[in-house]
Amino acid sequence: MSKARKVYESMMENDFCSQWLRINPILIEEGHCILEMEVRKEMLNGFGTLHGGMAYSLADSALAFASNSYGRISPLINGNMSYAKGAKLGDTLRAEAKVISLGNKKADIDVTITCVGHEEPFYFFRGTVYRTSKEHDV
Amino acid sequence: MSKARKVYESMMENDFCSQWLRINPILIEEGHCILEMEVRKEMLNGFGTLHGGMAYSLADSALAFASNSYGRISPLINGNMSYAKGAKLGDTLRAEAKVISLGNKKADIDVTITCVGHEEPFYFFRGTVYRTSKEHDV
Amino acid sequence: MSKARKVYESMMENDFCSQWLRINPILIEEGHCILEMEVRKEMLNGFGTLHGGMAYSLADSALAFASNSYGRISPLINGNMSYAKGAKLGDTLRAEAKVISLGNKKADIDVTITCVGHEEPFYFFRGTVYRTSKEHDV
Amino acid sequence: MSKARKVYESMMENDFCSQWLRINPILIEEGHCILEMEVRKEMLNGFGTLHGGMAYSLADSALAFASNSYGRISPLINGNMSYAKGAKLGDTLRAEAKVISLGNKKADIDVTITCVGHEEPFYFFRGTVYRTSKEHDV
């Protein structure tokens, strides 16, 4: 098993939130990950579309697995999301995270969320993590 | 009942996500709202702290009630969150949203999240909504 | 001359700031543009590297030409920049802007700034513009 | 002279960009600073209003003096600006920066820019700096 996968398994075991959201791993590799999540009724906002925080949560999980894949514990310090379109009940969202800059103390990660059956992305996320000197125990 | 409260009631009825997160209204008024949420086990990430997307979800709900309080339907177009500290299981978070700029087509909203028992804020959020010409049916 | 080029020429004529910064157009087309700028002494901050606002200014100009290229006047409403590396005196920066989402009322634009002679990007920018109904007079 | 003032003087001496923009210090103290800048012709964009990057530059300078005031060298890693109104030629802008969270490794800074003669703020900025272990030599 790759180190990236080991870190993912170790984190996911305690990541009760990603479990709660029923986030599924499609691809886990160093600096790169793809996750999927289905839009359920309890994720809708008052407008009948996906709550902005749910789209962000999917992106944040993708960021976490991508940025921690190198082995160092790396918490999020800043996240930014742009909302292009609103997902609906039953939609399947796919988040692809890529580490776009890997420094000694921080890393920047880009996450684009598409909706199965639609060509153009729905949500654009960018986040920065602090890279601690502490290693994941894997 | 104030218009802000009517809009809140109407939105919250269909906001299955805010219900799912058990978000409680403390204060709802025009351009201003305070919400509370308790950190539950299913909200924790792989580090044992509150998942970044859960803190963001609380802020987004607060933004929504504050920015829609004037009566016009106003979806989020961009959100940004800075993470100062990580909340833990059992913590009670309090989000205070204030509309800091109200334009004809957009509004900017500031949301600060504090943690009961701690003096310094844990999360800082800022978001921009598009103000449609469509009114809430209240 | 393409419409994108005509809009660029019309904007640049009055864009005294982009002129002041000696920003050069490398490519101007619909929804896409590439600009260059050299780091001069008056652009340095107190650390001896490029002032964060100067990198942002280059990105903002690139965003403006890309997002206005369709003909509708489209001012910036939110911008976000991540700083991966710091450019130095004499460096040539190249900003590539791409419209990543084009809606009726808003558009999202991604701008990546690289430094000639370096492989990895130095600055990552993302911005949102409001698309007015007013057309550029070109 | 306070430490904050000493750091400011030391940084400003080499901050050719803030000098170029004719940024004036109104108040410099620990974790807090107020700067002013006049909108000159060379700061205008193609719409005849202040270039978004110039407003951001003023905010970034204010952030820098506030966040470095404690003595540790603290470069910007992420900045975000919301544009509520556009300043015009001859306007005097006043940026007030406050450190809203001071951690061991990072700090978050809020900067609000007002325009003399106008009640409501024009620009809202938030930035995060990395706090290095290196001290300013003052």
Residues B24-82 pLDDT 10s = 999 999 999 999 999 999 999 999 999 999 999 999 999 999 999 999 999 999 999 99
Tens digits of per-residue pLDDT, C68-105?
999 999 999 999 999 999 999 999 999 999 999 999 99
Contacts of B55 in chain D (CB under 8 A): none
Tens digits of per-residue pLDDT, D88-120?
999 999 999 999 999 999 999 999 999 999 999
Choose, out of B37, B49, B56, B135, the residue to mutate when testing the contact with A (most A CBs < 10 Å): B56
CA C109 to chain CA centroid, Å, is: 10
Nearest C-alpha neighbor of D46 from the set B68, C64, B95 = C64
Query: Which residues lie closer than 8 Å to C119 by C-beta, 6 or more apart?
Result: none
Tens digits of per-residue pLDDT, A53-105?
999 999 999 999 999 999 999 999 999 999 999 999 999 999 999 999 999 99
Quickly tell me which residue has 């600096």 as its tokens: A31
Choose, out of A41, A47, A137, the residue to mutate when testing the contact with B (most B CBs < 10 Å): A47
Give this prediction's pTM: 0.97
Between chains, do A53 and B45 touch, taking CB under 8 Å as contact?
no
Contact C81, C55 (CB under 8 A): yes
CB contacts < 8 A (B, C): 17
Contact B53, A54 (CB under 8 A): yes
The token pair at D10 is 């030391």
Contacts of A73 in chain B (CB under 8 A): 47
Choose, out of D83, D124, D134, the residue to mutate when testing the contact with C (most C CBs < 10 Å): D83
Contacts of C87 in chain D (CB under 8 A): none
Q: What are the structural domains, with CATH classification, of chain B?
A: 3-130 (3.10.129.10)
Nearest to B84 among D80, D101, D120 (CB): D101
* Contacts of C among chains (3+ CB pairs under 8 A): A, B, D
Using CA atoms of B8, B59, A23, C84 in order, give the dihedral in degrees to the nearest 10: 150
Instruction: Judge residue C29's burial from the number of C-beta atoms within 10 Å of its C-beta, 0-12 exposed, 13-18 middle, 19 or more buried.
Output: middle
Phi and psi at residue A4, to the nearest 5°:
-60, -45
